[in-house]
């Protein structure tokens, strides 16, 4: 609530950017929960890099820079990359990490080739590579906020509709399969939702930092609870918090890029959660350890003070 | 002009081989993504060292950046050791944070330094040879060739010296520890090498495509062989082929060299994935089809064998009606009969099939099993 009252006093552009960043943080935070729980934290990194050739091809084919078309291209390429990773792992003995690394870097390399091709044609309307890599939160317009809100909202609603199925998939895939749930279809559905969240975030924080927006809020939320629903709600809140505070901090001084600041804010939330979270946090752990040591000491003292019986 | 071609290709080959060698161990140890993390996380190290030295190729910069790389590994492991964060998430948290610090540093002080963000992230092989080493006025060749050459020798020396230790700790870490081989030391040694190699390679290919050089050739070689020594050699060869073919592809279409080397890496991986004997996609598909025919043929001879010499034998071995008895698609039944005739498991008399000696023994064997 405190954030809201600050926002009212800020100018309109900043408010739009902050709202956009908050929405993005909330969407990627809640969908990232699944990625983190399934140990696929780095899938976001791969998808966001693999999206580059899609953007370039969409631009080459249509010649337009309309966000929706570029986003569609990015989503298709990101989705294709993920499918490739999954089939490499299934059909060869190459492990998940190597498959991810290969797809991430080579797709990106191919995107770079296409990008230089676009640059060479001298098209003034070219898709900016810098924007793709680092994002340009400052250019978020009101129409972008609507796009993020609607597409992100649809993704969240689909996720809520399939809540039970996805939950089962995440925690006990074998059991889900034995109950007759279509595992492959659910897997692809979850990945597609992730692709949507990532592609939406590219504009604001860029490809390199997008993985942090998926991972950090979820990891922070994980420290506070053991319940999936609570974790997801907290992750959405943390993501939104990081988005808003990053935007405000970067606007308060000159030449601080927004995307990296948002990521650092999210990292601070993670650090705080790991250190101070109730029950799981490091501080709590230390206190419990000290208390155990104390009670052990009391117990041994008492034991030693007792008259030795049965020793004769 | 010819000198330029040669220089660039030489730099590309040396960089590719230098990356592929430690990459083999990363792929085998399932730590490929650590190279992705390191290559991004060295950014603040590069920036800070650049503020101090104002040169992108000074040894101090390479050392500082490599130090940041090792620090990244330490961070990831500390996070993991709290048991609150899994390995993948620990990597996914650490490198974006360090990278963000680097980006903020660059844009805060962008006015004072000439450090191009694109140069760090994407590299540009086309200009790598322009910075030349000159001693007493003699032109001794491109600086980056010397830098990468040294790193290549370093990697080669490490792998040759600690080959046994690396092999053991990669395939059986607990045995290595039990025998007193200090796998932790080997691990950090390897990570230091990866950091140094990544830093050395970044101004040629940039930090994102380094991963293609580190992971691509070893993974391709891993599809071909089971032997570590052969995998190392093959990775080096594949890396060189990718580098040279990528260079000419880029020259032909006038596009980014690093990008087209990465593209060649993907194509090469795909090609090997398709055609490699026994493990490739084509081999798998052919094996499956053959198994399907063999199985159908066995079904056919068993069917004929079961009814052989019995009153209904004539009706059961009519070619035109086989598909009804075995519940096959008619076209498929014709194909199977042809296959079995070719193998001389059955022989055809008019419209009837009879078992040959060979077919009979196959049927008997199949039934016993």
Sign of the torsion formed by the C-alpha atoms of A217, A221, A223 and A224: positive
Nearest one of A274, A33, A43 to B88, comparing CA atoms: A43
Q: A48-95, pLDDT tens digit by residue?
A: 888 888 888 888 888 777 777 888 888 899 889 988 998 898 888 888
Nearest one of B68, B69, B49, B51 to B59, comparing CA atoms: B49
Which of chain A's residues have a Cβ under 8 Å away from the Cβ of B87?
Answer: 39
- For A13-20, what is the mean pLDDT? 83
Residue B113: pLDDT above 60? no
pTM: 0.84
Euclidean distance between the first and the last CA atom of chain A, given in angstroms as a whole number: 72
**How much is the pLDDT for B280?**
83
Beta carbons of A206 and A139 less than 8 angstroms apart? no
Q: B235-294, pLDDT tens digit by residue?
A: 999 999 999 999 999 888 888 888 899 999 999 999 999 888 878 888 888 888 899 988
Mean pLDDT of chain B: 84
In order, the DSSP letters of A40-87 are: -TTHHHHHHHHHHHHHHHHHHHH----HHHHHHHHHHHHHHHHHHHHH
Q: Could you tell me the two tokens for B5?
A: 């071609």
Residue A133: pLDDT above 50? yes
**Which residue matches tokens 């974006």?**
B96
Beta carbons of A18 and A7 less than 8 angstroms apart? yes
Which of chain B's residues have a Cβ under 8 Å away from the Cβ of A246?
Answer: none
- For A130-154, what is the mean pLDDT? 78
List, as ranges, residues 3-22 from A with C-beta within 8 Å of B.
none
Task: Point out the residue among B89, B101, B266 whose CB comes nearest to the CB of A106.
Answer: B266
Q: Does A270 contact B at CB distance below 8 Å?
A: yes
**Which residue matches tokens 């040894």?**
B59
Residue B164: pLDDT above 60? yes
**How much is the pLDDT for A124?**
46
**How much is the pLDDT for B270?**
92
User: Which helix H or strand E contains B187, and what residues bound it?
Assistant: helix B183-224
CA–CA separation, A14 and B360 (whole Å): 85
Higher pLDDT, A145 or A217: A217
**How much is the pLDDT for B153?**
93
Which of A7-16, A87-96, A125-134, B237-246 is predicted most confidently? B237-246
Residue B131 main-chain phi, psi, to 5 deg: -80, 105
Residue B338: pLDDT above 90? no
Instruction: Give the 3-state secondary structure of residue B347.
Output: strand
**How much is the pLDDT for A130?**
63
Identify the bridge partners of residue B142 per DSSP, sorted by sequence position. B132
Instruction: Give, in order, the Cα–Cα distances in Å from A164 to each of A26, A51, A159, A172, A190.
Output: 21, 30, 9, 12, 13
> Hey, are the CB atoms on A93 and B222 less than 8 Å from each other?
yes
Residue B118: pLDDT above 90? no
**How much is the pLDDT for A312?**
47
Task: Point out the residue among B30, B87, B262 whose CB comes nearest to the CB of A109.
Answer: B262
Higher pLDDT, A30 or A122: A30
**How much is the pLDDT for A6?**
55
**Which residue matches tokens 């964060």?**
B85
**How much is the pLDDT for A254?**
74
> How would you label B32-42 residue by residue, b for 16+ Cβ within 10 Å and e otherwise?
bbbbbbbbbbb
Best of B26, B75, B97, B223 to mutate (most A CBs within 10 Å, chain A) = B97
Residue A151: pLDDT above 80? yes
Q: Give B133's DSSP letter.
A: E
Q: B166-175, pLDDT tens digit by residue?
A: 888 888 888 8
**How much is the pLDDT for B19?**
92
Place A10 in a pLDDT band, splitting at 50, 70 and 90: low
Q: Does B253 contact A at CB distance below 8 Å?
A: yes
Place A1 in a pLDDT band, splitting at 50, 70 and 90: very low
Higher pLDDT, A312 or B275: B275
């Amino acid at each position: 609530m405190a954030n809201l009252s600050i926002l009212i006093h800020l100018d309109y552009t900043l408010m739009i950017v902050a709202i956009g960043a908050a929405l993005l943080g909330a969407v990627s935070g809640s969908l990232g929960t699944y990625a983190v729980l399934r140990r696929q934290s780095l899938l976001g990194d791969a998808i966001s890099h693999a999206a580059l050739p899609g953007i370039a091809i969409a631009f080459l084919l249509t010649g337009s820079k309309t966000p929706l078309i570029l986003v569609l291209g990015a989503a298709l390429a990101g989705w294709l990359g993920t499918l490739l990773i999954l089939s490499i792992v299934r059909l060869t003995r190459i492990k998940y990490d190597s498959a991810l690394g290969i797809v991430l870097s080579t797709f990106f390399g191919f995107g770079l080739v296409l990008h230089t091709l676009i640059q060479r044609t001298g098209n003034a309307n070219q898709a900016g590579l810098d924007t793709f890599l680092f994002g340009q939160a400052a250019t978020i317009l009101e129409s972008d906020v609507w796009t993020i809100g609607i597409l992100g909202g649809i993704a969240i609603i689909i996720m809520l509709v399939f809540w039970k199925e996805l939950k089962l998939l995440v925690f006990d895939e074998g059991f889900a399969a034995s109950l007759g749930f279509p595992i492959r279809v659910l897997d692809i559905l979850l990945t597609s939702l992730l692709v949507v969240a990532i592609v939406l975030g590219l504009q604001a924080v860029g490809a390199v930092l997008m993985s942090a927006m998926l991972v950090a809020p979820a990891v922070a939320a994980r420290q506070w609870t053991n319940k999936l629903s609570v974790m997801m709600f907290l992750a959405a809140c943390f993501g939104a918090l990081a988005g808003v505070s990053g935007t405000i901090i970067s606007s308060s001084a000159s030449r601080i890029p927004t995307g990296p600041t948002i990521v650092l804010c999210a990292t601070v939330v993670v650090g705080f959660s790991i250190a101070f979270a109730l029950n799981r946090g490091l501080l709590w752990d230390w206190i419990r350890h000290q208390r155990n040591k104390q009670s052990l000491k009391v117990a041994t003292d008492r034991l030693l003070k007792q008259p030795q019986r049965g020793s004769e | 002009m010819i000198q330029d071609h040669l220089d660039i290709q030489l730099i590309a080959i040396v960089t590719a081989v230098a990356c592929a060698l430690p990459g083999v161990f990363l792929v085998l140890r399932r730590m490929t993504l650590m190279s992705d993390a390191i290559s991004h996380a060295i950014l603040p190290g590069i920036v800070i060292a650049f503020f101090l030295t104002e040169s992108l190729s000074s040894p101090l910069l390479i050392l500082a950046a490599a130090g940041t790389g090792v620090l990244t590994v330490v961070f990831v492991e500390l996070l993991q050791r709290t048991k609150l964060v899994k390995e993948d998430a620990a990597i996914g948290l650490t490198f974006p944070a360090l990278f963000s610090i680097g980006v903020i540093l660059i844009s805060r002080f962008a006015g004072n330094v000439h450090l191009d963000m694109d140069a760090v992230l994407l590299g540009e092989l086309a200009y790598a040879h322009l910075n030349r080493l000159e001693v007493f006025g003699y032109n001794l060749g491109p600086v980056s060739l010397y830098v990468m050459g040294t790193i290549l020798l370093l990697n080669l020396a490490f792998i040759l010296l600690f080959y046994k230790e690396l092999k053991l700790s990669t395939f059986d870490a607990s045995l290595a520890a039990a025998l007193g081989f200090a796998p932790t030391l080997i691990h950090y040694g390897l990570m230091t090498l990866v950091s140094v190699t990544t830093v050395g390679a970044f101004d040629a290919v940039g930090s994102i495509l380094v991963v293609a050089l580190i992971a691509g050739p070893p993974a391709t070689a891993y599809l071909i062989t089971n032997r570590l020594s052969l995998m190392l050699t093959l990775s080096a060869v594949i890396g060189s082929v990718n580098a040279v073919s990528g260079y000419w592809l880029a020259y032909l279409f006038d596009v980014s060299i690093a990008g087209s080397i990465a593209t060649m890496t993907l194509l090469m991986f795909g090609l090997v994935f398709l055609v490699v004997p026994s493990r490739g996609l084509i081999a798998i598909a052919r094996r499956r089809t053959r198994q399907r025919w063999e199985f159908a043929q066995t079904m056919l001879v068993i069917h004929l064998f079961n009814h052989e010499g019995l009153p209904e034998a004539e009706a059961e071995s009519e070619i035109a009606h086989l598909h009804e008895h075995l519940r096959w698609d008619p076209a498929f039944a014709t194909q199977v009969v042809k296959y079995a005739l070719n193998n001389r498991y059955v022989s055809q008399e008019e419209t009837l099939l009879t078992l040959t000696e060979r077919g009979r023994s196959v049927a008997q064997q199949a039934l016993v099993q």
